[in-house]
Amino acid sequence: MPESTQKTCRIDTTGDPDCLRLLQLTDTHLCAETGGTLLDMDTDRSLQLVIAQALRERGNPDAVLCTGDLSDRGSRAAYQRLEGYLQAIAAPSFWLPGNHDDRGEMLAATRDKHRLPGEIRGGQWQIIMLDSQIPGEVGGQLGENELQRLASTLEAGRQEGLHALVCLHHQPVRIGSAWIDEQMVADAEQFWRLLDGHDSVKAVLWGHVHQQIDRHHNAIALMASPSTCVQFAPGSTDFKADDKPPGYRWLDLCADGSIKTGVSRVTDAEFTVDLESGGYL
Ligand SMILES: [Fe+2]
């Protein structure tokens, strides 16, 4: 298990003491060079527009969660630029790796040794950051170590009466798009068996699917969010990009265990995207 995932970071509720205010930015896919593109979209530009809109609409959050595919090809320069763009937000940011990322390069690029924590605590909440990456593969898997860490972290939180938000990159449920459902968390059955035994878990949040999803698994909210760049079309058998604009998700984690959340997209700018592309790898 990487040493960094053993760490717990603490954050403060700065605005409303009863509410932890979060901003999720996911699948930023920054390239090695500034202005590099994914399916013809300039991913530096789209991320900067998303950040500016999030600040306009929501103000500074208490923390930013970046849920993977932060660089398109795991380049250190991309992570360094990401860190620079995130400086526009007066809040700590926490990252977890996606299939496009390189954990070693992420850690090498950042000036903050707490950038990839295993757990974040703030208010009445614990946010558990899981690593679903299998190096060199597109699909995800948690594996025995991460599942064990999830179990022990949840148990520690339960003893302190904390509510839990679980974050990872890959989707732990089928979303209804055959091509990307092949890449879902391989050991999702064990994951859900574990979560079903913990009433403290209020929500699971992920990236990877480049689209908004708001569903429930029993009492647990399931959330996926737009990429800050290219979107994927829901319900598609084969890879298909969507013409929806880039966006972000905000989450307010309330002291009573309830969650307020929403997605917002950049609608006041034009974006180029190759809708005929058969893939993005
Ligand atoms: Fe992605």
Ligand 1 center–CA 101 separation, angstroms: 10
Residue 24's pLDDT band, with cuts at 50, 70 and 90, is very high
Ligand 1 center–CA 71 separation, angstroms: 9
Ligand 1 center–CA 26 separation, angstroms: 8
Distances (CA, A) of 132 to 103, 137, 161: 12, 11, 26
Whole-structure pTM value: 0.96
How far is residue 206's CA from residue 177's CA, in Å, rounded to a whole number?
Answer: 16
Residue 281's pLDDT band, with cuts at 50, 70 and 90, is low
Per-residue model confidence (pLDDT) at position 1: 47
Ligand 1 center–CA 172 separation, angstroms: 15
Nearest partner of 165 among 198, 211, 208, 210, judged by Cα:
198
Tokens for 13, please give them.
């509720």
How far is residue 236's CA from residue 143's CA, in Å, rounded to a whole number?
Answer: 28
Ligand 1 center–CA 217 separation, angstroms: 23
Neighbours of ion ligand 1 (CB under 5 A): 27, 69
Give the pLDDT confidence of 135-150 residue by residue, as tens digits. 999 999 999 999 999 9
What is the 8-class DSSP label of residue 256? T
How far is residue 8's CA from residue 29's CA, in Å, rounded to a whole number?
Answer: 26
The residues, any chain, with a CB within 8 Å of residue 119's CB and separated by 6 or more, are: 7, 8, 9, 126, 127, 128, 129, 153
Helix (H) or strand (E) holding 259: strand 259-265
Ligand 1 center–CA 5 separation, angstroms: 22
Ligand 1 center–CA 70 separation, angstroms: 8
The residues, any chain, with a CB within 8 Å of residue 224's CB and separated by 6 or more, are: 171, 175, 205, 206, 207, 208, 209, 211, 212, 213
